Amino acid sequence: MFLVALFFSILIGVFIGIFTYRNPKFAAPVLNGLNVVESVPDVALLVLLLPIFGIGTEPTIVASILYSLLPIARNTYTGLSNVPRVYIEIAEALGLTQREVLFQVRFPLSLPLIAGGIRIAVVFTMGVVTLGGLIAAGGLGAALQNGIQLYDMGTILVTGAWVGFLAVLLDGIAGIIESTLKARYGTWS
């Protein structure tokens, strides 16, 4: 469930990032809109989504995606816009079209920053997915919420530790990807 949420967040987030980069008119409204979503408390967001998606997995996934979009989209947008001018000039001098410059140069050179955005998204998603237990989304979140409701300290500790461990692990993996990319491209970033 968590991975599904993350997968869609990345897909949509990167798409929004590229879209806003290519249509700068939309950049401010779209990113500000996402900012507003971001500031809605997670429990409130879940409750808001209940009437639309009903109880269960869907609202949780949708909520995680909504939360994760901002960091990914924003980092994608910032990354694309801030690729050093020299590399763009090189690509143009060689005879790349604008589209090729975007996908062959800007996008790959933004990957470290995009990976950074995904890292933040991972942490957000973990939080929301855990809360999802409240609305019968199943998974670790459900076990955790059960523990809380029954006041079973053991369950809370075990599932809590698991959630924490998973969060750290995923964050670590994303971090490694981010720094590998940076190292590979040399010192420019």
Query: Based on the number of CB atoms within 10 Å of its own CB, is 24 exposed (0-12), middle (13-18) or buried (19 or more)?
Result: exposed
Residue 103: CB partners within 8 Å, gap ≥ 6?
Answer: none
Q: Tell whether residue 180 is a contact of another protein (CB under 8 A).
A: no
* Both structure tokens of 61: 């996934």
Does 165 help bind another protein (rule: CB under 8 A)? no
Binding string, residues 102-141; x marks residues near another protein by CB under 8 A: --xx--xx-x------------------------------
Nearer to another protein (CB atom), residue 109 or residue 134: 109
Rg (CA), the chain: 19
Single-letter code of the amino acid located at 2: F
Q: Counting contacts by CB under 8 A, is residue 85 touching another protein?
A: no
> Which residue's CB is nearer to another protein, number 10 or number 181?
181
**Shortest Å distance, C-beta 93 to another protein:** 5
Which candidate, 125, 119, 7, places its Cα nearest to that of 74?
Answer: 119
Tell me if 29 contacts another protein by CB under 8 A.
no
185 in contact with another protein (CB under 8 A): yes
- The nearest distance, CB 14 to another protein, in angstroms, is 17
**Residue whose tokens read 């290519």:** 22
